Amino acid sequence: MTGPEHWHEADLLTGDSDPCSYGCPHTGCEHEMATLARAQVHATLALAAAVAAGTAHRISPADRHEWLKATDPEYAAEQASGVTR
């Protein structure tokens, strides 16, 4: 997985979906905590990839494009529809 893919996965895990796929009646159940732990791992790996890629001045245009698609929903929608900035 690339950094942007890890970011996207962490975002999916912490999004509006039900934090517990088992339907536990209380918050903070072991399933919800496991999901949050998985999201944290993906976020940490995304951060490590971003640091390794360098600063915005050193990152390649292709990598910058992938990061923008992963972190900016409007940019991703524009790219999917073929609109350019």
Tens digit of each residue's pLDDT (9 = 90 or more) over 38-47: 999 999 999 8
pTM for this entry: 0.68
Q: What is the pLDDT of residues 47-71, one digit of tens each?
A: 888 887 776 567 778 888 888 888 8
Query: Pseudo-torsion of CA 63, 68, 71, 75, nearest 10°?
Result: -150
Around Cβ 16, how many Cβ atoms within 10 Å? 6
- What is the tally of structural domains in the chain? 1
Around Cβ 21, how many Cβ atoms within 10 Å? 10
Q: Residue 48 in contact with residue 70, Cβ under 8 Å? A: no
Q: What is the pLDDT of residues 16-37, one digit of tens each?
A: 766 677 777 777 888 888 888 9
At 78, list the tokens: 């524009």
pLDDT of residue 83: 63
Judged against a pLDDT cut of 90, whether residue 14 lies above it is answered with no
Q: What are the C-alpha distances in Å from 40 to residues 8, 51, 52?
A: 12, 16, 18
pLDDT of residue 56: 55
Domain extent for 31: 3-81
